[in-house]
């Protein structure tokens, strides 16, 4: 699968691991890179010193390319970007904004810049300022989401730009990978499936909540705040929904959600914590090694292609 994404990122398989805050740490990142994909550290609101340690830990665990995902809304974004530049991180993915002001410095050290986008307009704008590829993320994904589904978003962005497109949101197996390629993507980004891996440091209760989830187990909260988030429904989401119905202010709602991902992912509070996961959670029924997950994704492609051929002939 030596396609444009593999060549651009110097990886064996066109599979990127989503940069999940509090979850995508060096252990998971290195495992994905070592297995032939691209592991991505989830910087989230991580302070610069903490990110530097995570980058250096990743370098100690793998000699393969890896990336850092930077939330442009982070209060530490400028300092975090400086750390990434000083550490010469090979790939930078970005979310929640326009990375334009940082592109010259990142390009100077040879980093590939790949923003996450949820609209055609933003995709076109970012192509014009010189990004290397785009991650078209549908609303099926876990965590912060847009309004358009992967099925609708990916082909529209693929048709609108000339740079490679990576599909994200709702991809958990070989069928999803083939579907993404059929829609015009050159690769996929997967987050939720890697949560249920042996190498992921998420609390065991978090992983079990994902494994127990069904097709309708996730909900989207925070629509009224302008920052919608997909999570597993629990006591926290019910309280959040009740507050929204009562007309709670944005500040009150954001205070309720503050720090809840950390207590779910690290402390295992899956009742009052924010268990961010995509709609494909219902497809995940076991914990595997990262290498097994990636090999399953790749080795299943020929059979999917054969099944399609048999259907259309």
What's the per-residue H, E or C state across the chain?
Answer: CCCHHHHHHCCCCCEEECCCCCCCCHHHHHHHHHCCCEEEEECCCCCHHHHHHHHHHHHHHCCCCEEEEEECCCCCHHHHHHHHHHCCCCEEEEECCCCHHHHHHHHHCCCEEEEEECCHHHHHHHHHCCCCCEEEECCCCCEECCCCCHHHHHHHHHHHCCCCEEEECCCCCHHHHHHHHHCCCCEEEECHHHHCECCCCCCHHHHHHHHHCCCCCEEEECHHHCCCEEEECCHHHHHHHHHHHCCCCHHHHHHHHCCHHHHHHCCCCCCCCCCECCHHHHHCCCCECHHHHHHHHHHCHHHHHHHHHHHHC
Q: How many domains does the structure of the chain reveal?
A: 2
Query: Residue 70 in contact with residue 48, Cβ under 8 Å?
Result: no
94-152 confidence digits (pLDDT tens): 988 788 889 999 999 999 999 999 999 999 999 999 999 999 999 999 988 888 999 99
Residue 191: predicted pLDDT: 95
What is the spatial distance between Cα 19 and Cα 193, in angstroms, rounded to a whole number? 13
Q: Which has the minimum average pLDDT: 11-20, 89-98, 197-206, 220-229? A: 220-229
| 208 is a domain residue | no
Residue 168, pLDDT score: 97
Question: Do 66 and 173 have their domain in common?
Answer: yes
pLDDT tens digits, 184-214: 999 999 999 999 999 999 999 999 999 999 9
**Does one domain contain both 173 and 232?**
no
Residue 206 domain flag: no
The domain of 235 spans: 214-281
Give residue 63's pLDDT. 96
Q: Are 294 and 247 in a shared domain?
A: no
Q: Do the domain assignments include residue 19?
A: yes
Examine the domain organization and report whether 226 and 125 are in the same domain. no
Residue 1 in this model has a pLDDT that exceeds 80 = no
C-alpha 155/C-alpha 65 separation (Å) is 28
- Domain harbouring 151, CATH code: 3.20.20.70
Identify whether 207 is part of a domain: no
Within-domain flag for 92: yes
Answer yes or no: do 124 and 243 share one domain: no
pLDDT at 244: 85
Dihedral sign of CA atoms 270, 271, 272, 277 in order: positive
- The answer to whether residues 112 and 196 belong to one domain is yes
Same domain, 125 and 222: no
Residue 250: what pLDDT? 86
Compute the average pLDDT of residues 231-258.
Answer: 89
Task: Look at residue 258 and tell me whether its pLDDT is greater than 90.
Answer: no
CA distances from 260 to 22, 50, 285 (A): 11, 19, 24
The reply to whether 184 falls in a domain is yes
Shared domain for 27 and 159, answered yes or no, is yes
Q: What is the pLDDT averaged over residues 23-35? A: 97
pLDDT of residue 73: 86
Same domain, 31 and 124: yes
Beta-strand relationship, 218-221 and 229-232: antiparallel
Q: How confident is the model at residue 246 (pLDDT cuts 50, 70, 90)?
A: confident
Q: Compute the average pLDDT of residues 29-35.
A: 98
150 and 274 share a domain?
A: no
Is the entire prediction scored with pTM above 0.85?
yes
Q: Is residue 134 part of a domain?
A: yes
Asked if residue 163 belongs to a domain, the reply is yes
Query: Residue 254: its pLDDT value, please?
Result: 83
Q: Are residues 64 and 119 in the same domain?
A: yes
Tell me: do 182 and 235 sit in the same domain. no
Residue 24 clears pLDDT 90, i.e. is over it? yes
């Amino acid at each position: 699968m030596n396609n444009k994404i593999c060549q651009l990122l110097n990886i064996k398989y066109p599979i990127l691991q989503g940069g999940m805050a509090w979850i995508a740490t060096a252990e998971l990142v290195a495992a994905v890179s070592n297995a032939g994909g691209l592991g991505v550290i989830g910087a989230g609101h991580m302070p610069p010193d903490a990110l530097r340690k995570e980058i250096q830990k990743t370098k100690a665990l793998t000699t393969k390319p890896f990336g850092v995902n930077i939330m442009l809304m982070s209060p530490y974004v400028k300092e975090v970007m400086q750390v990434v530049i000083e550490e010469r991180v090979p790939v930078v993915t970005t979310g929640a904004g326009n990375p334009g002001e940082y592109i010259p410095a990142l390009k100077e050290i040879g980093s590939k810049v790949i923003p996450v986008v949820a609209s055609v307009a933003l995709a076109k704008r970012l192509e014009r300022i010189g990004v290397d590829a785009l991650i078209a993320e549908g609303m099926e994904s876990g965590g912060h989401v847009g309004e358009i589904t992967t099925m609708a978003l990916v082909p529209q962005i693929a048709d609108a730009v000339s740079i490679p497109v990576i599909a994200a949101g709702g991809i958990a197996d070989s069928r999803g990978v083939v579907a993404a390629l059929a829609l015009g993507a050159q690769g996929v980004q997967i987050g939720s499936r890697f949560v249920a891996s042996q190498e992921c440091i998420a609390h065991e209760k978090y992983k079990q909540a994902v494994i127990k989830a069904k097709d309708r187990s996730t909900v989207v909260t925070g629509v009224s705040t302008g920052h919608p988030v997909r999570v597993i429904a629990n006591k926290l989401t019910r309280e959040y929904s009740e507050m929204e119905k009562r007309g709670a202010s944005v500040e009150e709602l954001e205070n309720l959600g503050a720090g809840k991902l950390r207590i779910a992912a690290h402390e295992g509070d899956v009742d009052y914590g924010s268990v961010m996961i995509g709609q494909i959670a219902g497809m995940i029924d076991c914990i595997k090694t990262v290498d097994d997950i990636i090999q399953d994704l790749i080795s299943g492609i020929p059979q999917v292609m054969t099944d399609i051929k048999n259907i259309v002939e």
